[in-house]
Every structure is written in structure tokens, then in C-alpha cells.
């Protein structure tokens, strides 16, 4: 399986941005497009975007842990050739889908901060426990 090395020069970037923004508006989920290493290259533009992920990524070591979580999830999605549901290192449910362009692995679409039910005290305690090493 080949991969696209330089996403910045990709001709489909504007179309992908429109798609990710439409997805966010339709679902009210936060979605981003990442390169194959888990680094964000196209942010979503949703008005109620995820502040939790921003807090984690702005903490010492948080961004690196997020990138590793996303890269691994993207590889699993690529391996199974379908969306892969996972819990990120910070304890948040997300799903990854491989982004294929011209039959090349171009990146990862991540939909994050998915809540299956209303958060309760146990949920918040679990988040605190999983993130105690972050600032």
C-alpha cells in the first residue's frame, strides 16, 4: 500500500475541508483530518468544537500522546478497511477512518469526543484519573 507523503500540496485539500465541515454541521461531532503520523492538517470548523481535546493537546506531552493515539487508530482503520472505534489516551471515545486518495493512504479522518450517554460522576473521575499526568 503506497502513501501520500506531502499532504500540503494535495489538490483535494479544499474539497476535504468542505466535506469535513459539512460532516460537523450535520452531526455536531468534532472531526479533523490528520496526516498518516497523526498530525492535524485540516481542522474542522464547527462552532461548538471540542475544548477538552484542546486542553489536553495544549498540556505538556498531550499533543504527542494524541498523535500516537490517532496514528495507531488510523493504522487499525486501514488494516480493517473500515472505521475503527477506539478510546484515546485521555479516555474519550472516537473513531478513525482511513483517508484514501487515488488508492493511496493519504491520512486519517478522526471523529472525536463522542458521548454514548450523559456524563456522570464516574465518567469525570475516570477522565481525571487517565489525565492526572497532564498539566
Q: What is the pLDDT along the chain (135 residues), one digit of tens a residue?
A: 445 555 555 566 778 788 888 888 888 788 888 888 888 887 665 544 556 778 888 888 888 888 999 999 999 999 999 999 999 888 888 999 998 888 888 889 998 877 777 888 888 888 888 877 776
- Domain residue ranges of the chain, discontinuous segments joined by +: 7-130
What predicted TM-score, i.e. pTM, was given to this entire model?
A: 0.78
- As a whole number of angstroms, the distance between CA 79 and CA 40 comes to 21
Listing DSSP states for 87-129 in one string gives E-TTS-EEEEEEEEETTEEEEEEEEEEE-SS---HHHHHHHHH
Q: What is the pLDDT of residue 116?
A: 78
Q: Which class is domain 7-130?
A: alpha beta
Amino acid at each position: 500500500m503506497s502513501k501520500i507523503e506531502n499532504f500540503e500540496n494535495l489538490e483535494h485539500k479544499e474539497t476535504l475541508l468542505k466535506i469535513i465541515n459539512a460532516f460537523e454541521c450535520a452531526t455536531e461531532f468534532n472531526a479533523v483530518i490528520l496526516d498518516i503520523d497523526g498530525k492535524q492538517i485540516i481542522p474542522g470548523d464547527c462552532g461548538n468544537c471540542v475544548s477538552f481535546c484542546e486542553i489536553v493537546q495544549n498540556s505538556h506531552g498531550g499533543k504527542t500522546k494524541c498523535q500516537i493515539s490517532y496514528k495507531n487508530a488510523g493504522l487499525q482503520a486501514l488494516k480493517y478497511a473500515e472505521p475503527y472505534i477506539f478510546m484515546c489516551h485521555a479516555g474519550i471515545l472516537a473513531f478513525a477512518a482511513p483517508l484514501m486518495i487515488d488508492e493511496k493512504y493519504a491520512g486519517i479522518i478522526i471523529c472525536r469526543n463522542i458521548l454514548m450517554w450523559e456524563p456522570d460522576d464516574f465518567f469525570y473521575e475516570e477522565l481525571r484519573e487517565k489525565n492526572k499526568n497532564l498539566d
